[in-house]
Amino acid sequence: DIQLTQSPSFLSASVGDRVSITCRASQGVSNYLAWYQQKPGKAPNLLIYAASTLQSGVPSRFSGSGSGTDFTLTIIGLQPEDFATYYCQHLHSFGGGTKVEIK
């Protein structure tokens, strides 16, 4: 099975910041990579699929990039509602998560 490694595991940032989260696959996955946001007590919510396609209804401050083994989720202009945990996913594998907290 392909392993997904996210970094950092924890990120402290301020409202308005630009943040980037990385997901590295143990072998090439083309662009079969999705990103989810999860808030405490809630189900994950799809943000991006196909590495860079924004899911309908997701704010444009979120963007995804990458192909092969290295992927990035970027949030430009962090908002209070963006403080959450983010996961990458390829087929049946999930990354370990990145928790974004308020500095």
Partner 1 sequence: QVQLQESGPGLVKPSETLSLTCSVSGDSFSRYYWTWIRQSPGEELEWIGYIYHSGTTNYNPSLKSRVAILVDTSKNQFSLRLNSVTTADTAVYYCARIVWWDHYYMDVWGKGTTVTVSS
| Chain contacts with partner 1 (rule: CB under 8 A) | 31-32, 34, 36, 42-46, 49-50, 55, 87, 89-97
- Closest CB 16 distance from partner 1, rounded Å: 29
Q: Identify whether the C-beta of residue 74 lies closer than 8 Å to the C-beta of residue 20.
A: yes
Return the half-sphere exposure (C-beta side, CA atoms, 13 A cut-off) of residue 61. Answer: 14
**C-beta neighbour count of 42 within 10 angstroms:** 9
Q: How far is the CB of 20 from partner 1 (least distance, A)?
A: 20
User: What is the rounded (10 degree) CA torsion for 80, 58, 89, 72?
Assistant: -70
Nearer to partner 1, 75 or 90 (CB): 90
Cβ proximity to partner 1: between 15 and 53 the closer is 53
Select 17 or 55, whichever has its Cβ closest to partner 1. Answer: 55
